[in-house]
């Protein structure tokens, strides 16, 4: 059953919100000890919400777009009265005193929040192994990483613990785990979704977005969480389109899809084979396929990480142990420590021009060149992640870990929308196809995903 069909069945009283919650919570109880997708749940609180929804439906009252759907939230997004730790000992006892804007919107539309999902510490990672709660397993490839940093959210969807989950995406942190776990994940255009209440990793790159098992779940959540927020000056002051109608699309007759040679060049051959099959499907659905080249690909990772280091260092200065939490440098894990130290070093006056300003110049170059690339096509299609996930506990050099992000960071550097959905299996492990579009053309990604999914 698609997510939109489930909402309709709840509204039509064929399934109650309470029954849906019970089914999901039973899966959490059965599987979470092994998978470690959720780090905190609150069933009594969720039951009250579900019972209220059922009561209103029975009385013929209006209910919201998410009526009765069970929602998981990444542990770096503020939900009142939950421990908002970002999976770090720094904030292990920090109880959220307010809701992020996206949480208020979910509650207004009758989403049933069941709990918080696991993640890499402060979202600094690509494997969900750096969490203070321990690693998350990949339900679709047991023993392998689920990807990161939103690995708990992806694993929760893949194992059937919730209907939709929120993640955050700074350099691929929604799309990377969506690919590894075989689910659908979406990073909206920068500024389309409020970041108020998100514990930032790199404020000029971060974006909140949804993960779900199908495109209707993605579109439904986007219809809820997008829009201007006076509390977040980076949000756009304009109307956003309805995304749900695009989630029933079946044809790509009017679409042109670009395939970038360099994206395929850095990707394992077995993954490319699956991606090429999906691209053939896009062609069969009516899309015109164009071959493209993008020589700036080698600039992506260094540009991204230099900006990330500096902005993360700046963001963590508030974790000084005075008002709340611990002093971050005294308790954090090695990857967070590495980013703080490098960020501190290149933020010094004598180095900032040499590194950070050059990274900002490179960002402008990449953005201009990528926009030129998108000028001739509606969508760019290619692999989401260039290699298969490693086994949990396997030691990787930091540069090998960063290499997971080579194809996803470009969407964050340029601020464009990007989604990942399952393209197939390689050695019984899911691999994802990434679809990217021009800024504010998020609907084209939804439209293309829908055609692929409904094929």
How many beta carbons lie within 10 A of that of residue 318, not counting itself? Answer: 12
Identify the segments of the chain with pLDDT beneath 50.
none
Q: Model confidence over 336-375: pLDDT tens digits?
A: 999 999 999 988 877 777 888 899 999 999 999 999 999 9
Token pair for residue 133?
A: 């709660």
Q: Please state the three-class secondary structure of 398-413 as a single string.
A: HHHHHHHHCCCHHHHH
Q: Contact 169/129 with Cβ under 8 angstroms?
A: no
81: which DSSP letter?
T
pLDDT recorded at residue 355: 87
Q: Can 74 be counted among the known catalytic residues?
A: yes
Q: How far apart are CA 438 and CA 370, in angstroms?
A: 9
Q: Can 153 be counted among the known catalytic residues?
A: no
Helix, strand or coil, per DSSP, at residue 194: coil
CA nearest neighbour of 384 among 436, 433, 442? 433
Token pair for residue 312?
A: 């993360």
pLDDT recorded at residue 349: 76
Out of 173, 194, 278, 420, which one is annotated catalytic? 173
pLDDT recorded at residue 240: 87
How many beta carbons lie within 10 A of that of residue 254, not counting itself? Answer: 10
Q: Can 204 be counted among the known catalytic residues?
A: no
Beta bridge partners of 260: 292
Domains and CATH numbers, the chain: 3-453 (3.90.1300.10)
CA 279 to centroid of chain Cα atoms: 23
Within 13 Å, how many C-alpha atoms sit on residue 217's CB side? 29
pLDDT recorded at residue 348: 86
pLDDT recorded at residue 199: 97
CA angle, 38 then 177 then 282, to 5°: 135
* Burial label, 37 (beta-carbon count in 10 A; 0-12, 13-18, 19+): buried
Within 13 Å, how many C-alpha atoms sit on residue 228's CB side? 5
In the chain the first and final C-alpha atoms are separated, in Å, by 16
Q: Going by DSSP bridges, is the β-strand pair 112-117/38-41 parallel, antiparallel, or unpaired?
A: antiparallel
Q: Model confidence over 191-238: pLDDT tens digits?
A: 999 999 999 999 999 999 999 999 999 999 999 999 999 999 999 998
> Which residues, including other chains, have CB under 8 Å from residue 291's CB and lie 6 or more apart?
258, 259, 261
Out of 74, 105, 187, 213, which one is annotated catalytic? 74
Q: Contact 126/404 with Cβ under 8 angstroms?
A: yes
Instruction: Describe the strand order of the beta sheet including 112-117 as a list of residue ranges.
Output: 38-41, 112-117, 70-74, 164-169, 207-212, 184-187, 418-426, 429-436, 379-383, 256-260, 288-292
Query: Could you give the dihedral angle defined by the CA atoms of residues 114, 177, 356 and 312, in that order, rounded to the nearest 10 degrees?
Result: 30
CA nearest neighbour of 359 among 351, 370, 349? 351
Out of 85, 88, 149, 150, which one is annotated catalytic? 149
pLDDT recorded at residue 351: 75
């Amino acid at each position: 059953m698609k997510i939109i069909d489930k909402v309709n069945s709840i509204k039509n009283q064929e399934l109650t919100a309470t029954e849906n919650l019970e089914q999901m919570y039973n899966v959490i109880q059965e599987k979470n000890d092994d998978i470690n997708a959720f780090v905190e749940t609150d069933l009594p609180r969720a039951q009250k919400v579900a019972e209220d929804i059922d009561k209103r439906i029975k009385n013929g009252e209006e209910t919201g777009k998410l009526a009765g759907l069970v929602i998981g939230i990444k542990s770096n997004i503020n939900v009142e009265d939950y421990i908002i730790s970002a999976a770090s000992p720094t904030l292990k006892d920090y109880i959220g005193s307010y809701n992020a804007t996206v949480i208020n919107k979910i509650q207004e539309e009758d989403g049933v929040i069941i709990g918080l999902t696991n993640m890499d510490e402060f979202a600094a990672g690509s494997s969900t192994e750096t969490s203070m709660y321990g690693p998350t397993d990949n339900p679709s490839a047991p023993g392998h990483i689920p990807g990161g940093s939103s690995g708990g959210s992806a694993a929760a969807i893949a194992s059937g613990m919730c209907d939709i989950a929120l993640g955050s995406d700074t350099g691929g942190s929604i799309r990377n785990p969506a690919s590894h776990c075989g689910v659908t994940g979406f990073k909206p255009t920068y500024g389309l979704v409020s970041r108020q209440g998100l514990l930032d990793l790199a404020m000029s790159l971060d974006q909140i977005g949804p993960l779900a098992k199908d495109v209707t779940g993605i579109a439904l959540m986007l219809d809820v969480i997008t829009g201007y927020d006076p509390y977040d000056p980076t949000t756009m002051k304009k109307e956003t389109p309805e995304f749900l109608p695009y989630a029933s699309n079946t044809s790509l007759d009017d679409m042109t899809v670009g395939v970038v040679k360099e994206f395929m060049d850095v990707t394992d051959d077995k993954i490319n084979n699956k991606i090429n099959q999906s691209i053939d499907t896009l062609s069969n659905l009516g899309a015109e396929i164009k071959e493209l080249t993008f020589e700036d690909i080698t600039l992506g990772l260094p540009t991204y990480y230099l900006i990330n280091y500096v902005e993360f260092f700046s963001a963590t200065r508030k974790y000084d142990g005075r008002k709340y939490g611990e002093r971050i440098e005294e308790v954090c894990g090695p990857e967070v420590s590495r980013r703080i130290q490098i960020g501190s070093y290149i933020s010094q006056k004598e180095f900032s021009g040499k590194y950070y300003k050059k990274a900002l110049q490179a960002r402008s170059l990449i953005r201009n060149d990528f926009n030129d690339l998108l000028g001739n096509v509606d969508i760019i299609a290619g692999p989401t992640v260039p290699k298969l996930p490693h086994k949990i506990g396997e030691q990787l050099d930091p540069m090998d870990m960063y290499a997971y992000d080579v194809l996803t960071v470009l969407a964050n550097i340029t601020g464009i929308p990007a989604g990942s959905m399952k393209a197939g299996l390689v050695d019984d492990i899911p691999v994802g196809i990434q679809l990217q579009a021009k800024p504010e053309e998020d609907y084209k990604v939804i439209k293309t995903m829908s055609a692929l999914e409904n094929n």
